[in-house]
Amino acid sequence: MTTITEDDLVLGDRETTLHLVRTQETELPAQVELGFTDGEREYRRATVASRRLSGSSRREARADAAVVTRRAEAQRLADAWLQDLWAGRESAAFALSPRRVAIELGDILSVPTQAGPRLHRVTRIDDGSTRRVSTRAVEPSVFAAPGAPPAPTGKRPPPVAGRPAAVVLDFAAAQGEGTVLQWLAVAADPWPGAVAVWRSGDGASFALHRIVGLPAMIGRTLTALPPGPLWRWDPLATAEVELSSGALASIGDEAALAGGNLFAVQGPDGCWEIFSAARAELIGARRYRLSRLLRGLAGSEPQAARSVPSGAMIVRLDEAVTPLADDLADLGRPWRYRIGPASRDYADPSYVEVAATAGADALKPLAPVHVRARRGPEGVTLTWVRRTRKDGDAWEPSDVPLGEDAERYEVDMLQGGAVLRTLASAVPTALYPAAQELADFGAPQAALALRVAQASPVVGRGFEAVVTAPVV
């Protein structure tokens, strides 16, 4: 602090030694509000206010600060701000000798007034033949006042667990070890930490069946998904989706081809198409635009040929999607499931009940591909390439694993959708004798309508490849 005496002031010809100005009360705020981020309340935005209990002013001042602090500290800052505004209602202007170069902006000066010395802060200096100094009154005790102790927050009640969203998925995808007949995806907000799955065959007595430890990413499509091509990139189709939780990111083409960013979308017929999205662009809160798609994966080729409207259910296939039924004894058997927080009883209102029956899609062999027909002396030789569910991505083996206890195929000869004859074969080829062709059609055909399927010893005929093969 520097003390200014009357001897230090430079007196002009017609100027007063010292000009003192006092701001009118109506020009000062009677209340100030300060916005901040409350570090004690989950970093939510909050506001505190400070108000003078006396005076005729009706003005208010507001400020939104980008600070994280406690409410008690924010209240102290608001109180200090209001008191400093009123303490600084007096300002002064005077001239000093140019030799007083030690005085700088922000310095605290003791200025002589009729009421005695007052503390002022330098707000402006104009250098010339004299140093014109402007100041405003300050009260240091305003900033020295301690803040109020933090108010006791008490123990906040735990979040109330709501009824979860449970989705049962039936598709032909094979993930992990073993064969899973049905999958389950569960989402809840807030997530209770773990979700229990109870199962009953008669609806009267339930037994604990599964514990789900991770929330699944369940959502809805915001735009329609048009039909797409198979076994190659779909560069045109996009799908805008809104998910319950989690985050998505774009991946490389190789990662997408290896099964990354897998999604299952349900059409109006209730069947699921599985696709991979190499590009995921954030377009809003929990909203993404999926593009560069691989359609009809894991035996869902027929579903890629349909159009899925907006509002369809979509589930990301990751480690949060858990097996629901994986025993052959569950095949075709109706079950009732109750799903809810693991910390509560299955009769609690927070549980949701669903009924599901496991189908055989996960056990059916995939449809053969590359169906060809070649005419020879004995008739038409039909050939095709079989597929497998597991361990079929390697390029080195000469053939993919069989995946069944025995190899068997059935070929339907079609005319107008009706089956004329069924051929059976134990290898991926079959002979359609010329005599049978004449008996079925009356003449050699330039093209044959075929339905080819691999049969399983467990569930019988698998997914069918329906083609019209030209005879060469």
Give the pLDDT mean for 311-324.
95
| CA pair distance 213, 190, nearest whole angstrom | 13
Could you tell me the residue range of the domain that residue 118 belongs to?
2-144
Residue 326, SS3 per DSSP = coil
Query: Strands 272-284 and 334-341: what pairing?
Result: unpaired
Q: How confident is the model at residue 465 (pLDDT cuts 50, 70, 90)?
A: very high
Same domain, yes or no: 206 and 300: yes
Q: 5: pLDDT confidence band, cut at 50, 70 and 90?
A: confident
Do 356 and 373 lie in one domain? The reply is no
Residue 159 falls within a domain, yes or no? no
Residue 203 is predicted with a pLDDT of: 84
What is the pLDDT, as a whole number, of residue 339?
97
Give the model's pLDDT for residue 400: 84
Assess whether 407 and 276 both reside in one domain.
no
Instruction: For 103-150, write each residue's pLDDT tens digit.
Output: 999 899 998 887 888 899 999 999 888 889 999 998 888 887 666 666
d(CA 143, CA 106): 16
Determine the pLDDT at residue 151. 61
pLDDT-wise least confident of 99-103, 148-152, 264-268, 308-312? 148-152
Position 109, amino acid: L
Nearest to 175 by CA among 274, 253, 252: 274
Assign 177 a pLDDT band (cuts: 50, 70, 90): low
Structural domain total, the chain: 3
Q: Which residue has the higher pLDDT, 400 or 213?
A: 213
- Residue 432 has what pLDDT? 97
Choose among 217, 224, 362, 222: nearest CA to 300. 362
Q: Give the Cα separation of 65 and 42 in Å (integer).
A: 17
Percent of the chain with pLDDT over 90: 60
Q: Are residues 139 and 179 in the same domain?
A: no
Asked whether residue 3 carries a pLDDT value surpassing 90, the answer given is: no
Q: For 437-458, how does the pLDDT look when each residue is reduced to its tens digit (9 = 90+)?
A: 999 999 999 999 999 999 998 8
Greater model confidence, 71 or 396: 71
Give me the pLDDT at residue 232, please. Answer: 92
Is residue 353 domain-shared with residue 376, that is, in the same domain? no
Q: Of the residues 361, 380, 412, which one is the last residue of a structural domain?
A: 361
Percentages of the chain per state (helix, strand, coil), in multiples of 5: 10, 45, 45
Residue 149 lies in a domain: no
Supply the pLDDT for residue 174.
58
Kindly write down the DSSP assignment for every residue of 100-169, as one continuous string: -TT--TT-EEEE--TTS-EEEEEEEEEESSSEEEEEEE--THHHHSPPPPPPP---PPPPPP-PPEEEEE
- Give 122's strand partners: 135
Domain assignment of residue 157, yes or no = no
Residue 153 lies in a domain: no
Summarised one tens digit per residue, pLDDT across range 232-265 is 999 899 999 999 999 999 999 999 998 899 999 9
Q: Are residues 115 and 187 located together in one domain of the fold?
A: no
Averaged pLDDT for residues 429-434? 96
Residue 158 lies in a domain: no
Task: Report residue 157's pLDDT band, with 50, 70 and 90 as the boundaries.
Answer: low
Average pLDDT for residues 300-313, to the nearest whole number? Answer: 94
Give the torsion sign (CA, 223, 227, 232, 234). Answer: negative
Average pLDDT value for residue range 206-232? 95
Q: What does the pLDDT average to over 219-223?
A: 97
Q: State yes or no: pLDDT of 398 exceeds 90.
A: no
Measured at the alpha carbon of residue 225, what is the angle toward residues 219 and 228, in degrees to the nearest 5?
A: 130
Task: Clarify whether residues 357 and 245 are in a common domain.
Answer: yes
Region of poorest pLDDT, from 181-185, 387-391, 393-397, 447-451: 393-397
Say which CATH number the domain at 324 has.
2.40.10.170
Residue 159, pLDDT score: 65
Vertex 458: Cα angle to 455 and 461 (nearest 5): 25
The verdict on residue 155 lying in a domain is no
- Do 203 and 129 have their domain in common? no
**What CATH number is given to the structural domain containing 396?**
2.60.40.10
Report for 12-26, 118-132, 312-326: range of highest mean pLDDT: 312-326
Domain boundary among 295, 327, 361: 361
Q: What is the mean pLDDT of the chain?
A: 90
295 and 190 in a common domain: yes
Among 258, 5, 252, residue whose Cα is nearest residue 113 = 5
Tell me whether residue 431 is in a domain: yes
Residue 6 confidence (pLDDT): 82
pLDDT confidence bin for 162, thresholds 50/70/90? confident
Has residue 176 got a pLDDT over 60? no
Could you tell me if 346 and 411 lie in one domain? no
420 within some domain: yes
Amino acid at 196: A
- Residues 326 and 440 grouped into a single domain: no
Whether residue 172 sits in one domain with residue 70 = no
Which of 310, 329, 361 represents a domain boundary (last residue)?
361
What was the pLDDT predicted at 316? Answer: 96
The total of other beta-carbon atoms located within 10 Å of residue 195's CB is 27
